[in-house]
Amino acid sequence: MKSKVNPKLLDEIREAHNLKTDLELASFLRIAPSTLSGIRNGTNPKLTTAMIIFDAAGVTDLRQAVIRSNQDQAA
């Protein structure tokens, strides 16, 4: 089972800080716009980036911050 950062967290941060664009959000989070775009498209960020997002969103329960998906694991 794989987990990905829930992109809804990004929208929550944008709304909470009245940020109009993803470029402003990336600047606020101090991450590259390409990293933010990747997260929105399902790429797993580095742990440090995920922690920045979780902190900015006020996440206290990681189960609400990630999307889990079942994928067949080839042996």
Query: For residue range 16-32, what is the model confidence (pLDDT) as tens digits?
Result: 999 999 999 999 999 99
Domain with 45, as residue range(s), is: 2-68
The pLDDT, as a whole number, for residue 62 is 72
Instruction: Please give the average per-residue pLDDT across 44-58, as a whole number.
Output: 92
pLDDT band of residue 11 (cuts 50, 70, 90) is very high
pTM over 0.75: yes
CB hemisphere CA count around 64 (13 angstroms): 8
Whether 59 is covered by a domain: the verdict is yes
Whether 44 is covered by a domain: the verdict is yes
The total number of structural domains that make up the chain: 1
